[in-house]
Chain A
Amino acid sequence: MNTFDYVRPATIAGAIAAAADPGAAYLAAGTNLLDLMKGRISRPNRLVDITRLPGLDRVERLPGGGIRIGALVRNADLAHDRVFARSYPAVAEALLSGASAQLRNAATVGGNLLQRTRCGYFYDVTSACNKREPGAGCDALHGENRSHAVLGWSEACIATHPSDFCVPLVALDAVVEIEGRAGRREVAVEALHRLPGDTPERESALEPGDLIVALRLPGEAGMFSAHARYLKVRERTSYAFAVVSAAAALRIEDGTIRHARVALGGVAAKPWRARSAEEILAGSSPSDPAFGRAAEAALADAKPSGDNRFKIELARRTLRRALTLAAAGTPERVPALPASPFSSAPGGLHDA
């Protein structure tokens, strides 16, 4: 790890001023950043510790519905917040399917939104990576790429976004509040992450000094609480990133889907909202043929970026199953194995 200056500002304005220099980085829990620094993938010359900033660790109900989550709220605390989990069960399930209990106790909401890809070539500083070093090339393109993107990728970068949390967030129209040198602004989570194009090093809509201070879920997102699931296919049962994941949220009235929200994870450089699937679902009966058509539509533009053609069919099936589970109803409690396709009881359904 390279050495750095360490500052711990007491105010948001002080933090933004301290972080505006190129080479500065915000430190919250550090569960991703310290790992990147140990591997010399990130080499900030200044760490701006935001963990003591006041007012960023609260979960608030908003007048008129919706919920506002401070950027420093820990993943575990949010997932176990009863009001939150009841209103946005797919988000709670996604949070509990990510990382380990130790990491969820430390990791923050803001940090999760900004975590970096786990592409092995990004992490290996002896490999060529356009994201780490613009113009260097991409060793993933002709390398071990079975876990890489099938949507929205470019020749410059085929990495995926690793977050589980962000997948139901984009489905539910979550918004981040950002403080920056030019004041406060809001960006939809869907617009926060960028596709690689020719500039994979530009991963988000944030400018130098920008600080995510809060995340908001709108009140309307609560209308899906009776039929909302997150499903995540992994290489092992627990403590692994998604190969493919899906968030499915349905509003069912009189046996018909009135509104549907769908997003996929592990398929692109950003959490992937699938509006074409939502349009097919709205007005349909919650049935397997409709779920199949929605899954076809969601992956209509997918193409393999390497040895990963299987992910396209896997994503279709994962989404179809997530929709089936959502239609069956949100379980009373997040299953013992959150978001897992595997059962916690021999012979039982995975959410039994």
Chain B
Amino acid sequence: MNLSINLTVNGVRRDVALGDPRVTLLDLLRERLDLTGTKKGCDRGQCGACTVLVDGRRINSCLALALSHDGAEILTIEGVARGDQLHPVQAAFIAHDGFQCGFCTPGQIMSAIGLIQEGQAGDDPERIREGMSGNLCRCAAYSGITEAVLDAQKSLSEADRRHAA
């Protein structure tokens, strides 16, 4: 059984020898690659703290078998800023108090980036709340999170328009 895979994580190609078929993508990121920004909350797909983008789509990394994602491109919270310049969603979470303790925040931010890319919610706060319902926040910073996503969506679409002009 070949238990080696390669992944592109935050733009860097990584070859990983797993040694055990049971490793989830979440455990691979945290335990093998020391990318501990992605959090392990429930580990059962119920809380969303482990959300990452795989080939551009947000998923729960705790319910993804690493072996099955051989060749995938992964984006985690560590890969969204450009140097010292925060990603617009990160900046919006700070501006709108979109967190308190911060444990769910990496998952919230990755989920929000995925939601904005999916393009289904627009500027409707109800669609944003529904689209973010897979990310629980025990501090209940939900109103700040919704405002942050609305704001980030606006600044990203304005940046897109400037880019297109």
Contacts and interface: CB of A to CB of B under 8 A. Distances in A.
Contacts of B98: none
Contact of A31 (B3, B45, B126): B45
Contacts of B131: 101
Contact of A30 (B20, B58, B63, B133): B63
A35 interface: yes
B106 interface: no
B64 interface: yes
Contacts of B129: 238
Given A30-B64, A101-B114, A38 B43 contact: yes
Interface residues of B, number: 36
B134 A35 contact: no
A239 B129 CA distance: 11
Nearest to A37: B22
A30 B48 contact: no
Interface string A279-318: 0000000000000000000000000000000000000000
A6 B64 contact: no
A237 B135 CA distance: 14
Contact of B134 (A3, A47, A51, A100): A100
Contacts of B43: 38
A103 B126 CA distance: 19
B44 A35 contact: yes
B124 interface: yes
Contacts of A106: 57, 59-60, 63-64
Nearest to A337: B130
Contacts, number: 97
B86 to A, nearest CB: 23
A5 interface: yes
Nearest to B119: A80
Contact of B63 (A4, A34, A237, A345): A34
B165 interface: no
A31 B127 contact: no
B134 A38 contact: no
A102 B24 contact: no
13 contacts: A1-B22, A4-B22, A6-B3, A29-B63, A31-B45, A76-B118, A80-B120, A101-B58, A102-B45, A106-B60, A106-B63, A237-B133, A345-B126
Given A103-B60, A345-B126, 11 more contacts: A6-B67, A27-B68, A31-B63, A34-B24, A39-B44, A99-B134, A101-B134, A105-B59, A106-B64, A336-B124, A337-B126
